[in-house]
C-alpha cells in the first residue's frame, strides 16, 4: 500500500491552522501541525515530512531561522519548504529563498493556490525519487552488463587458450599418428604408405581397414584422420564389440533427458561427437544386425534422431571401420548387411601381417628398443645404440618367429625383454615366445631364461607385469604373468584360468593392462567361442573353463 505524503504546517495562529487543515482535508496527505519554530524542528526530526508549510512571523525563532535550522537536520536539506507570509515585498521573498525555501505564498491564503503549490512540489519530489530509483537501476544494470562483459572476455580468453591448446594437441596428434609413425621399408609397407597418402587427400571417403589383430588398424585409421583436412575436428574411436546391445542406440545416436529409465540428462552420441571429424568403428564385424540398419541410414543421408527426440540432426562424419574377421563370409552367411559393407568400403585397405614383411622386423625391433627404452628411462651403460642393445642370436630368433600377434606382439616382446635384461644387451634368453621359433631353444637357454625371469619378478613391475598369482589344481606352483608372459591376449586369459580356476573383468584388466571395455570384449568373445563359461551376472560375474 502506497504511503501518503507527510505535510508539516507551522503557524502560531490557530485560526490559520484551522483554515489550512480544512483546505487540505481531502488532499490525501498526512498532516502534522506546530505552533512555533522549536516544535517544528522537533517534529521534522522525528517524522521527516515530505513538505513543510512555514509561517514567517512567529514568536521565538522566526520562520527564516527555523528554515535555516531545518536545513541542518540529517534529512532536512532534502525537504522542500514553502513560506507563508503577509509580507509580499521582494525583499522578504528574497530573504526566504536565501534561508532555503523553494516557494513563497502570500496571505490571505487561497485554497486552490495552496493546493496547486503543494501538489507541484510533491510531484517534483516524486519525480526526483523515481529518477533516482531509475538511476540506481541503471547503475545496477550497468554493473551487471560490465560483469557479463568481463565474463565474456574471460571466456573468450579461455576459448582462445583452449583453441591454441587444441591446435597444439592436434599438431602433436598429427605428428604422433602421421606417416612417420610407420616403421618399415618392405614393399608391402611402401604400398601401404602410398595408399595412406591418397586417402588423406580424400577426406569424405569412408574406409574399411582389414587385417589380423595387432597389425595396426587403429594406427592406420588415425593416420588417415590426422593427415587429412578433418584433423582439426575430433577423432572418436569406438569398439563396437564392447557396447551392450541394449545401449547401442543411445551410445551412437544420443538421447534426451527422460527418454528411458536412467536417462537423467541429455547425451550426445558418437556420431554427433565426431561431427566434422572421423568416427573409427573398431570390430565392426561384431555389430548387431539391428544397429547395422540404423548405421546404414545415417551413412546414407547424414541424419540422426536421438532417442526420445522428434528432431533430426545433420552430421558430417567420415567413417573408418576396422575388423579382423572375414566380412565377406559374414555377408554370405547374412550376419552382415551387404549394403552396409559397400557403404563402409568406399576404399578397402588390407594390412599385411608381420610374417609377410619379415624384412621390416630389424627396423621395428630397433624402433621399439629406442622408444620403449626412453619411456622406461633406461640409461644403458653398454649399449649406446639400438643395434648394439640386442645380440645377433636374439635378433635371429625373432626373425625366425611367426608372430601370431603381429606388431603388437613384437612390441610386447621387446618391452618384456627390456625389463628382463635390466638395461643390459638383450639376448635370446630374455625373449618370450607364445610359440617356439623355428630354431629350437637349447636346454641351457631355457634354464637361463627361467633364472632370469625369477630375478625380474623381484624388480619393480612395469606395465603388463603385475604379479597375479594363484594356485590351481594340480599346477604345483603359483602362476605369474611375468614368468609365463603371453603376448596374445586371449591366450594369456585362458592360461590364467587354467592355473587359477576363474577370472573376472577386474583381474583381466590387471593381467593385460587394458580398460574395462577391452577386457569385457575379450572375455565375452572367449565365452561366445565356447572357450570359457560365464558364471553369475553383472558385477558378480566371472569366467571358468567349460566342463568337459
Q: 470 lies in which domain range?
A: 464-548
Report the C-alpha gap between 224 and 277 in whole angstroms: 11
- CATH no. for residue 455? 1.10.8.60
Q: Which segment of 474-483, 487-496, 509-518 scores lowest on mean pLDDT?
A: 474-483
Contact 82, 102 (CB under 8 A): yes
Cell digits for 3?
504511503
Same-domain pairing of 326 and 358? no
Same-domain pairing of 453 and 479? no
Among candidate residues 460, 478, 494, the one where a domain is terminated: 460
Same-domain pairing of 265 and 206? yes
How is the chain split among helix, strand and coil, in percent rounded to 5? 50, 10, 35
Q: Give 121-144 pLDDT, tens digit per residue.
A: 888 888 988 898 899 999 998 998
Cell digits for 414?
621387446
- In the sheet where 318-323 sits, what is the strand order? 235-239, 278-282, 318-323, 207-210, 347-350
Q: Apex CA 302: angle with CA 301 and CA 308, to 5°? A: 110
Partners of residue 10 on adjacent β-strands: 34, 54
pTM of the model: 0.51
- CATH no. for residue 490? 1.10.10.10
Same-domain pairing of 91 and 122? yes
pLDDT band at 233 (very low <50, low <70, confident <90, very high): very high
pLDDT band at 463 (very low <50, low <70, confident <90, very high): very low
Report the C-alpha gap between 293 and 277 in whole angstroms: 22
pLDDT band at 188 (very low <50, low <70, confident <90, very high): confident
Q: Apex CA 296: angle with CA 299 and CA 249, to 5°? A: 100
The answer on pLDDT for 436 being more than 70 is: no
- 449: helix, coil or strand? helix
- CATH no. for residue 298? 3.40.50.300
How many structural domains are present in the chain? 4
Q: Is residue 142 in some structural domain?
A: no
Q: Is residue 163 in some structural domain?
A: no
Same-domain pairing of 358 and 404? yes
pLDDT band at 381 (very low <50, low <70, confident <90, very high): very low
Same-domain pairing of 198 and 296? yes
- pLDDT for 474 equals 31
- CATH no. for residue 37? 3.40.50.2300
Same-domain pairing of 256 and 384? no
With a pLDDT cut of 70, the percent of the chain lying above it is 83
Q: CA 171 → CA 161, 165, 175, 181, distances in Å? A: 15, 10, 6, 14
Q: Give 41-95 pLDDT, tens digit per residue.
A: 999 988 889 899 999 899 889 999 999 999 998 878 888 999 998 887 888 889 8
Q: Is residue 185 in some structural domain?
A: yes
Among candidate residues 286, 312, 343, the one where a domain is terminated: 343
Q: Is the pLDDT higher at 438 or at 253?
A: 253
Cis ω for the linkage preceding 108 (within 30 of 0): yes
Q: Is residue 132 in some structural domain?
A: no
Same-domain pairing of 195 and 212? yes
Q: Is residue 143 in some structural domain?
A: no
Same-domain pairing of 116 and 28? yes
Same-domain pairing of 181 and 311? yes
Same-domain pairing of 274 and 303? yes
pLDDT band at 316 (very low <50, low <70, confident <90, very high): very high
Cell digits for 506?
577386474
Q: Is residue 322 in some structural domain?
A: yes
Same-domain pairing of 252 and 114? no
Q: Is residue 50 in some structural domain?
A: yes
Q: Is residue 298 in some structural domain?
A: yes
Amino acid at each position: 500500500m502506497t504511503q501518503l505524503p507527510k505535510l508539516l504546517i507551522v503557524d502560531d495562529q490557530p485560526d490559520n491552522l484551522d483554515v489550512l487543515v480544512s483546505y487540505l482535508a481531502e488532499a490525501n496527505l498526512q498532516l502534522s501541525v506546530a505552533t512555533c519554530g522549536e516544535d517544528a524542528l522537533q517534529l521534522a526530526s522525528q517524522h521527516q515530512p515530505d513538505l513543510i508549510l512555514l509561517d514567517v512571523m512567529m514568536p521565538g525563532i522566526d520562520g527564516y531561522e527555523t528554515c535555516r535550522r531545518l536545513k541542518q537536520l540529517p534529512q532536512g536539506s532534502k525537504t522542500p519548504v514553502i513560506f507563508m507570509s503577509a509580507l509580499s515585498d521582494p525583499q522578504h521573498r528574497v530573504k526566504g529563498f536565501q534561508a532555503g525555501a523553494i516557494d513563497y505564498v502570500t496571505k490571505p491564503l487561497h485554497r486552490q493556490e495552496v493546493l496547486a503549490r503543494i501538489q507541484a512540489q510533491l510531484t517534483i519530489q516524486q519525480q526526483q525519487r523515481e529518477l533516482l530509483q531509475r538511476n540506481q537501476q541503471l547503475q545496477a544494470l550497468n554493473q551487471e552488463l560490465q560483469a557479463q562483459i568481463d565474463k565474456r572476455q574471460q571466456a573468450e580468453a579461455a576459448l582462445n587458450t583452449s583453441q591454441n591448446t587444441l591446435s597444439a594437441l592436434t599438431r602433436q596428434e598429427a605428428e604422433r599418428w602421421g606417416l612417420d609413425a610407420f616403421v618399415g621399408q618392405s614393399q608391402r609397407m611402401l604400398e601401404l604408405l602410398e595408399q595412406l597418402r591418397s586417402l588423406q587427400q580424400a577426406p569424405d571417403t569412408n574406409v574399411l581397414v582389414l587385417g589380423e589383430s595387432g597389425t595396426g588398424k587403429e594406427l592406420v585409421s588415425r593416420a588417415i584422420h590426422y593427415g587429412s583436412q578433418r584433423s582439426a575436428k575430433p577423432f572418436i574411436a569406438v569398439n563396437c564389440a564392447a557396447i551392450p546391445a541394449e545401449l547401442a542406440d543411445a551410445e551412437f545416436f544420443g538421447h534426451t533427458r527422460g527418454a528411458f529409465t536412467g536417462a537423467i540428462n541429455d547425451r550426445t552420441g558418437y556420431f554427433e561427437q565426431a561431427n566434422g571429424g572421423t568416427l573409427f568403428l573398431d570390430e565392426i564385424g561384431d555389430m548387431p544386425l539391428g544397429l547395422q540398419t540404423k548405421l546404414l541410414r545415417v551413412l546414407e543421408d547424414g541424419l540422426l534422431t536421438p532417442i526420445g527426440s522428434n528432431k533430426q540432426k545433420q552430421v558430417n562424419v567420415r567413417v573408418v571401420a576396422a575388423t579382423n574377421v572375414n566380412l565377406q563370409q559374414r555377408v554370405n552367411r547374412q550376419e552382415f548387411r551387404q549394403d552396409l559393407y559397400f557403404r563402409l568400403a568406399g576404399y578397402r585397405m588390407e594390412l599385411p601381417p608381420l610374417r609377410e614383411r619379415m624384412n621390416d622386423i630389424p627396423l621395428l625391433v630397433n624402433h621399439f628398443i629406442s622408444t620403449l627404452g626412453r619411456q622406461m628411462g633406461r640409461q644403458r651403460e653398454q649399449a649406446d645404440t639400438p643395434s648394439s642393445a640386442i645380440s645377433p642370436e636374439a635378433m635371429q630368433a625373432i626373425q625366425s618367429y611367426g608372430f601370431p600377434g603381429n606388431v603388437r606382439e613384437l612390441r610386447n616382446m621387446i618391452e618384456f625383454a627390456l625389463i628382463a635384461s635390466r638395461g643390459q644387451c638383450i639376448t635370446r634368453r630374455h625373449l618370450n615366445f607364445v610359440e617356439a621359433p623355428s630354431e629350437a631353444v637349447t636346454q641351457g637357454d631355457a634354464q637361463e631364461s627361467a633364472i632370469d625371469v625369477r630375478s625380474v619378478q623381484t624388480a619393480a613391475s612395469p606395465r603388463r607385469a603385475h604379479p597375479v598369482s594363484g594356485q590351481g589344481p594340480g599346477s604345483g606352483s603359483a602362476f605369474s604373468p611375468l614368468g609365463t608372459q603371453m603376448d596374445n591376449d586371449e591366450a594369456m586369459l585362458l592360461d590364467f584360468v587354467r592355473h587359477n580356476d576363474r577370472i573376472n573383468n577386474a583381474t583381466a584388466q590387471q593381467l593385460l593392462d587394458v580398460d574395462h571395455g577391452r577386457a569385457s570384449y575379450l572375455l565375452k568373445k572367449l565365452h561366445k567361442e565356447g572357450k570359457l563359461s560365464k558364471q553369475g551376472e553383472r558385477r558378480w560375474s566371472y569366467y571358468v573353463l567349460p566342463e568337459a
